[in-house]
Amino acid sequence: MPPLVHRSLFLAATLLATACGTDGSGGGGASQASSALTNPDKTAIAAPAPDSFRVEFETSKGNFTVVAHRDWAPRGVDRFYHLVRLGFFDEVRFFRVLNGFMAQFGMNGNPDVTAAWEPLQLEDDPVKMENTRGRVSFAMGGPNSRTTQLFINYVDNRNLDGMGFAPIGEVVGTGMAVVDSLYGDYGEGPPGGPGPDQGRIAAQGNTYLNQSFPKLDYIRRARILP
């Protein structure tokens, strides 16, 4: 099974994360991001999230909803909550979709935001829930390395539990039909396959993805539901 890692593991055994900044159409390159994304307030993003909340993801394949539970993984849920509030996931590509395994996202189109969030690594949460189908966890490249990348389990991946991947929530209702339909024919990225290169995503953002992997599905926007 391919590891749930990204560029920083390949470079320095740590987690990489990025945020978004495209033209809003799903087809453009990176544009200016808000100052809250390029200069995140460390105090503000450390504030506790609600005990439970729902996030609607509007994607190029339809909508799905994730319910987050803070008692599952408080540090991870706090980070997820603030990323959504800041609009971090808007125009983010599902850049690593591996059928029979998981769909990964959380690298965005603006390299300036990548640089701002890469150092903001989280301490690990204890794994309280299993990585079963539909559950959402942060990707990581080693202990205490979570930042912004997440994945949705396509199948029961309980072997990830012992590796420290702590679920923060789960896709509810009929949403997994949308997640199942995400484009996955590009496959794994380097060095294991010809799919998107996370180092180039970090350096060039959505400009690289749009030019080299135009069929990737993406998040139009993600919002916390009332």
Sorted by where each starts, the structural domains of the chain and their CATH numbers stand as: 7-21+48-224 (2.40.100.10)
Name 163's Cβ contacts closer than 8 Å, sequence gap at least 6. none
Name 16's Cβ contacts closer than 8 Å, sequence gap at least 6. 6, 7, 8, 9, 107, 114, 118, 141, 147, 149, 198, 202
Q: What percentage of the chain exceeds 90 in pLDDT? A: 82
Whole-number pLDDT of residue 115: 84
Task: Output the average pLDDT for the chain.
Answer: 88
9 sits in which H/E element: helix 7-12
**The two three-digit tokens of residue 1, written as one number:** 């099974």
Residue 21 has pLDDT above 90, yes or no: no
Whole-number pLDDT of residue 184: 98
Lowest pLDDT segment from 12-16, 145-149, 182-186:
12-16
Work out the widest C-alpha separation in the chain, in whole angstroms.
42
Question: Within 58-191, where are the H helices?
Answer: 74-85, 111-117, 175-180
pTM of the model: 0.88
Residue 30 has pLDDT above 70, yes or no: no
Whole-number pLDDT of residue 108: 82
Per-residue pLDDT tens digits for 169-222: 999 999 999 999 999 999 999 999 999 999 999 999 999 999 999 999 999 999
Residue 110 has pLDDT above 80, yes or no: yes
Whole-number pLDDT of residue 131: 98
